[in-house]
Amino acid sequence: MNLSIGLLGCGTVGQGVVQLTDLRAHLIQELTGLRPVIRKVLVRDIDKPRAVSASTFSYTTNAQDIIGDNEIQIVIEVIGGVETARELIIQSLQSGKHVVTANKDLMALHGPEILEIAQENNVEILYEASVGGAIPLIKPLKDSLSANEITELKGIINGTTNYILTQMTATGADFAAALREAQDLGYAEANPTSDVAGLDAARKLTILASLAFYTKVRLDEVAVQGIESITAADVKFAAELGTVIKLLAVGTDKDGALSLAVRPTLIPRQHPLAQVSNSFNALYVKGDAAGELMFYGRGAGSLPTASAVMGDVIALMRDIRMGVSGRTAQMYMPHKRVDASTATPLRHYIRLTVTDQPGVFAEIAAGFAAANISMETVVQRQQKDVADIVIVTHPVSPAQLQGALSQLQQLPSVKQIHNVLPVEPDAG
C-alpha cells in the first residue's frame, strides 16, 4: 500500500529527500507496511535542471496543488525561510496533513504556535532535521531523556564556523582567508552573516533548550557573540595555552533559572568537544539520571539532513499505519526566567594591547585586584612601542568580569581590548 507525500522545495535538501526515498522505499515498506511515494513537488521553476528525475511525481509552482490534494497525507517542508514556510505549514496542518520540516528558523521563532496548531488539528509536526543534520538530537531530548532533569547543554552546532575555526587552527590563516575558503568549498553562504555572527547557532540553541529545559525559550533570550573578531593571533595564543577556539552554544538550568549563550570559547585540547573538526557538529548533554552524553556527526548536507527528514517520515508512517495521532501535542511548559548571573563561573581569556612602558602591568594587576579577580596565566609579546598581553583569569562571575573590564578601559596605557572569551574547564 502506497502513502502519498508532498514535498515543498527541491533544493539541496529536497533532492536528497527524493534520492533517499527512492533508495529506501522497499525497506521503509518492510518497516512500516506502507511504501512512501512522493507525488508532487513544489518548485519556483519547473524547467530548472535538477539531479533527480521526476519518476513518481510531478512538479508544480502552486502549493495548493499539494495542500489541497486529499490523497497526500504527509507534507515535507524544505523551502527554508520563515514567513512563506510558516504559512504553508499552517495550511497543511489545518488541512489535516502531517508535516515534517527541516526549518530551524521557523521552529526557533514560531515553534510553540506551530505545535499548538498541530494539536488543534490532531496531526503531527516533526522537526528532527532542524538541528544537527543527521545527528539525532530532538527525539533524544523530547523522548529518550524525558525522565531526566537536564541541567546543561554544550554544543558545536554550526558547521560553517567550526570549519573556519578548524582551518585557522590548522593553517594559521586569518578569519577572512578561512571564510573565503569555506565559501569556495560550499561550507559558507555568499552572505555568511547568520553563521559567523552566531545567529544560526542561537536559533538551534533556542530549539534544543526549549526541549531540554522543558520551557518556552525565545530567540532574543540567547546572548550571542560571533567569531568575526577572532584573529590568527587569538588562535595562536589559544594553542600556547593548550586550547582551541570553538563557537560554543551553552545552556544551563540552575534551580529553574536559565543561562543561554552562543560565544567563541577556548576549549582544552583533551576535551571531547575540542576534537570536533571541520563541518562536524556535536552536542554534550548532562542529565541527573543518564549522566553525561555526547552526540556527534555531520550537521548539514543533502543526504545527512535528508536522513533526519526521512526518520521523521518513517515515524509518521508507523503512526498512520497504527491509527495513532497527537503524540507531539503541546504540553504545559512552566516559565523559567533567563538570568545570565546564574551561569557557572568560568576562567576567561582577555587579550589587550598596551603601551610598552614601566609600571603598566602593575596598573593592570591593580585593576584586576580591585574587581577581586586573580590571574592564573599571563603571556606577553613585545611589539614596537606596544605589547600584546593575554591574561587568563581564575573562574569569575559575569559581574566580576565586567568590573575588571571597566577598570581596564579607564587606563590610558590600555590601547585596545581585543577579545574576552570564556575558557571551558577540563572534561571530567
25 φ/ψ angles, rounded to the nearest 5 degrees: -55, -45
Joined together, the cell numbers standing for residue 16 give: 536528497
Helix residue ranges per DSSP H, 121-158: 138-139
For every residue of 179-234, DSSP letters joined together read HHHHHHTTSS-SS-HHHHTTHHHHHHHHHHHHHHTTS---GGGSEE--STT--HHH
Q: Which residues are the active-site residues?
A: 204
Contact (CB, 8 A) for 238 and 246: no
Q: How many C-beta neighbours within 10 Å does residue 107 have? A: 26
Can you list the alpha helix ranges (DSSP code H) found in 198-342?
A: 199-212, 232-240, 302-322
Sheet holding 98-101, edge to edge: 58-60, 35-42, 2-8, 72-77, 98-101, 125-126
Instruction: Give the Å distances, CA to CA, from 75 to 66, 117, 394, 402.
Output: 8, 15, 52, 49
- Express the helix, strand and coil content of the chain in percent, nearest 5 each: 40, 30, 35
DSSP character at residue 157:
-
φ and ψ of 8, to 5 deg: -95, 100
Which triple of cell numbers denotes residue 134?
543527521
Q: Is 165 exposed, middle or buried (0-12, 13-18, 19+ CB in 10 A)?
A: buried
